[in-house]
Amino acid sequence: MRVAVFGAGYVGLVTGACFAELGHDVVVRDILEEKIDALRRGEVPIHEEGLDELLERNGARLRFTTDVDESVEGAEVVYVAVGTPPTYSGDADLSAVWTVVDELPRADRRIVVAMKSTVPVGTGRTVRRRLDERGLENVGYVSNPEFTAEGTAVRDFMHPDRLVIGAFDPADAEVVERLHAGIDAPVIRCDVASAEMIKLAANAALVTRISFINEIANVCEATGADVITVAEGIGLDRRIGPAFLRAGIGFGGSCFPKDSLALKQLAANSGYSFQLLNAVIEVNELQKRRVIGKLERRLGSLRGKKVALLGLAFKPGTDDMREAPSLVLAGRLQAEGAEVSAWDPVADGSVLLDGVRIAGSALEALDGADAAILVTEWPELRELDWAEAGARMRKRVLIDGRNMLDPAEMRGYGFDYEGIGRAAE
């Protein structure tokens, strides 16, 4: 089949590359000429496991363009994978979506617009109305949300837990399902609003689990229990399950913070206060900041103290720093008067962190530091020569924000080590 993908960001590129892998002819369209030029030269603008190989292997079935007509020509399905960032009010900014809808050229055959961008419930209905107003009755509309996580997006796309296809017309759903032939997963066929809500509710369920385990961790700290053992103990209950029970310094990224805010706002706009989600968001904000207290208990005032942030990306396997806890930590530390150094194997911290010294290696970031915070659980940090790391620091205070390291081993290296939700020494 012929597929057009609007948007060459994380979601659009993965979607385009995976459909090409499934044997379809794909044209990816973006408004940024530099990006399209780079993609044509074979350069991949993002760090995503397996994406480079996929783009290269399927080069013959993939084209990149800035031209709307060229991308839509002959396409049976037009995927919308543009950004929907939050506005000041917390609502999703849908301007990029509307631009795509308004730019869609007339066609003498049926085209299905498939929404991959995360949008508020009700967007599909509005898009439908807008298409009808333009006289584009032969353009169908389907909500086909994505559940891929950064770092594992290619695998998640090719081996999803489920496909969700919400449509106004069953024939359109049929086309989108056919596009996924070769992917073995249960398919939920439903109305458009429910598909839109499945996406938001899935992310809300996941963030609720994270804030839940983080609060359990905080109570563990106060009472002497160990959250890792507790998570294992509750995760074995089949009704609860083990996933997304890793306590830490809070969730970040381009999706969870934005989508939880959007759902909270969506509810509020309809006159409903989503109290549980409000608490989940609040807990997450506090969780990022709790680390500062852990440092102050050891170092007193942080004024003039050197603190190293190990890892900047919101999670390992990606260069994405959107809403990363590292941003809040760097800001809080600087506000307390600390000197901050930072290292990440791929994320480009220099763009975002004003006044932070970006080091070329983890060891360099630790030179002369009074404390280190493990922010992102990069495998490189597990392998770090921690004896050498300690030797380079002025004081061996180590806060493990992801419970990645072995407490006994770190204490063996002379570190005053504390994780999240585990007994301090």
Q: Residues interacting with ligand UGA, by CB under 6 A? A: 118, 146-150, 203, 206, 210, 244-246, 248, 251-253, 255-256, 259, 314-315
Residue type (1 letter), 96: A
Identity of the residue, 123 or 148, whose beta carbon is nearer to ligand UGA in the bound complex: 148
Residue (of 142, 83, 140) closest to 115 by Cα position: 142
Identity of the residue, 36 or 313, whose beta carbon is nearer to ligand UGA in the bound complex: 313
| Choice among 18, 190, 220, 255 that is catalytic | 255
Minimal distance, residue 206 CB to ligand UGA, in Å: 6
User: What is the spatial distance between Cα 299 and Cα 316, in angstroms, rounded to a whole number?
Assistant: 28
Minimal distance, residue 222 CB to ligand UGA, in Å: 20
Minimal distance, residue 199 CB to ligand UGA, in Å: 7
Q: How many CB atoms lie within 10 A of CB 319?
A: 17
Identity of the residue, 19 or 314, whose beta carbon is nearer to ligand UGA in the bound complex: 314
DSSP 60: G
Minimal distance, residue 159 CB to ligand UGA, in Å: 13
Give 202's strand partners: none
Identity of the residue, 128 or 315, whose beta carbon is nearer to ligand UGA in the bound complex: 315
CA distances from 263 to 193, 203, 281, 297 (A): 13, 10, 11, 37
Are the CB atoms for 113 and 148 separated by under 8 Å? no
Identity of the residue, 101 or 375, whose beta carbon is nearer to ligand UGA in the bound complex: 375
Minimal distance, residue 351 CB to ligand UGA, in Å: 19
Q: What tokens appear for 332 in the block?
A: 């809080």
In the chain, count of helices (H) and strands (E)? Answer: 17, 14
* β-bridge pairing 339-343 and 306-310: parallel
Active site residue 255: yes
Identity of the residue, 104 or 164, whose beta carbon is nearer to ligand UGA in the bound complex: 164
Identity of the residue, 159 or 303, whose beta carbon is nearer to ligand UGA in the bound complex: 159
Residues in CB range of 94: below 8 A, 6 or more apart: 84, 119, 120, 123
Are the CB atoms for 215 and 209 separated by under 8 Å? no
Instruction: Please give the full DSSP string across 132-169, using - where no structure is assigned.
Output: HHTT-TTEEEEE----PPTTSHHHHHHS-S-EEEEESS
Identity of the residue, 77 or 263, whose beta carbon is nearer to ligand UGA in the bound complex: 263
User: What is the spatial distance between Cα 91 and Cα 400, in angstroms, rounded to a whole number?
Assistant: 34
Looking at the chain, how many residues does it have?
425
Residue 64 Rama label (left phi>0; alpha psi -120 to 50; beta): beta
Minimal distance, residue 149 CB to ligand UGA, in Å: 3
Minimal distance, residue 232 CB to ligand UGA, in Å: 13
Minimal distance, residue 254 CB to ligand UGA, in Å: 6
User: What is the spatial distance between Cα 34 and Cα 186, in angstroms, rounded to a whole number?
Assistant: 39
What residue has token string 């053992």? 229
170, 157, 251, 384: CA torsion to nearest 10? 180
Catalytic residues: 255
